[in-house]
Structure 1
Amino acid sequence: MVTAVRTVLGDIAPGDLGVTDAHDHLFLAVPSLAGQELDDPAAAEAEVEVFAGLGGAAVAQWTPFGLGRAAGRLPAIARATGVHVVAATGLHQAHHYDPALLDRLSRDGLAAFFVAELTEGMLDGDTPDAPRGTARAGMIKVAGGFHGLDDHARRMLTAAAEAHHATGAPIGVHHEMGTAAPDVLDLLHGRLGVPPSALLLGHLNRFPDPGLHRELAASGAFLAFDGPSRAHHATDWRLLAGLVALAEAGHLHQLLLGGDTVTATARATTGEGPGMPYLLRTLRPRLTRALGEEAATAVFRTNPARAFSARWTTP
Structure 2
Amino acid sequence: MSFIRTLRGDITPEELGFTYSHEHIVCRPAFWAERNADDLLLDDKEKSKLDVEDFKKHGGKSIVDATAIDYGRDVQAVKEISEELDIHIVGTAGFNKSFLWDAKVKEELKPIIGNYQTYAEWIDAARINELTDFVIREVEEGLEGTPFKAGQVKFGTGYNRITPLEEKTLRAVARAHHETKAPLHSHTEAGTMGLEQIELLVSEGVDLSYMSFGHMDRNPDPYYHEQIAKTGAYLCFDGIAKIKYAPESTRIHCILELVRKGYENQILVSGDTARKTYYKHYDYGLGLEYIIAKWVPRFIDDANRQGFDGEKLIHKIFVENPARCFTFKK
TM-score by length of 2: 0.87
1:299: Cα distance to partner? Answer: 0.2
Are 1:156 and 2:169 an aligned pair? yes
1:309: Cα distance to partner? Answer: 0.6
1:294: Cα distance to partner? Answer: 1.1
Aligned AA for 1:263? Answer: R
Aligned AA for 2:2? Answer: T
Q: Which residue of 2 aligns with 1:239?
A: 251
- Residue identity over aligned pairs, in percent, reads 30
Q: Which residue of 1 aligns with 2:106?
A: none
1:146-174 CA distance string (max 9 Å, x none): 12311111011100100000000111101
DSSP 3-state at the match of 2:155: strand
Are 1:281 and 2:280 an aligned pair? no
DSSP 3-state at the match of 1:66: helix
**2:153 counterpart (137, 140, 149):** 140
Are 1:120 and 2:141 an aligned pair? yes
Alignment of 1:34-49 (within 5 A): 34-36=37-39, 37-49=41-53
Q: Does the Cα contact within 8 Å between 2:98 and 2:157 map onto a contact in 1? A: no
1:32: Cα distance to partner? Answer: 4.1
Query: Distance between the aligned counterparts of 1:25 and 1:217, measured in 2?
Result: 25
Q: Could you list the runs of 5+ residues in structure 2 that have no partner in the other structure?
A: 103-116
1:174-228 CA distance string (max 9 Å, x none): 100011100011111x211111111110001001111111111111100000123
Alignment of 1:234-313 (within 5 A): 234-237=245-248, 238-289=250-301, 290=303, 291=308, 292-312=310-330
Aligned AA for 2:244? Answer: H
TM-score by length of 1: 0.91
Query: Distance between the aligned counterparts of 2:27 and 2:241, measured in 1?
Result: 15
Q: Does the Cα contact within 8 Å between 2:153 and 2:184 map onto a contact in 1? A: yes
Aligned AA for 2:126? Answer: R
Q: Could you list the runs of 5+ residues in structure 1 that have no partner in the other structure?
A: 124-131
DSSP 3-state at the match of 1:141: strand
Query: Distance between the aligned counterparts of 1:90 and 1:236, measured in 2?
Result: 31
**1:107 counterpart (126, 136, 146):** 126
Q: Which residue of 2 aligns with 1:58?
A: 62
Aligned AA for 1:262? Answer: A
Query: Distance between the aligned counterparts of 2:280 and 2:77, measured in 1?
Result: 20
Q: Does the Cα contact within 8 Å between 2:25 and 2:48 map onto a contact in 1? A: yes
DSSP 3-state at the match of 1:224: strand
Q: Does the Cα contact within 8 Å between 1:58 and 1:83 map onto a contact in 2? A: yes
1:70: Cα distance to partner? Answer: 0.4
Query: Distance between the aligned counterparts of 1:118 and 1:18, measured in 2?
Result: 22
**1:74 counterpart (58, 62, 78):** 78
Q: Does the Cα contact within 8 Å between 2:268 and 2:321 map onto a contact in 1? A: yes
Q: Which residue of 2 aligns with 1:10?
A: 9
Q: Does the Cα contact within 8 Å between 2:70 and 2:119 map onto a contact in 1? A: no
DSSP 3-state at the match of 2:235: strand
Q: Does the Cα contact within 8 Å between 2:191 and 2:219 map onto a contact in 1? A: yes
Q: Does the Cα contact within 8 Å between 2:136 and 2:180 map onto a contact in 1? A: yes
1:229: Cα distance to partner? Answer: 5.1
Aligned AA for 1:273? Answer: G
Query: Distance between the aligned counterparts of 1:288 and 1:136, measured in 2?
Result: 35
Alignment coverage as a number of residue pairs: 301
Q: Which residue of 2 aligns with 1:97?
A: 101
**1:168 counterpart (181, 188, 193):** 181
Query: Distance between the aligned counterparts of 1:229 and 1:174, measured in 2?
Result: 19
Aligned AA for 2:171? Answer: T
Q: Does the Cα contact within 8 Å between 1:228 and 1:274 map onto a contact in 2? A: no
Aligned AA for 1:88? Answer: T
Q: Does the Cα contact within 8 Å between 1:229 and 1:260 map onto a contact in 2? A: no
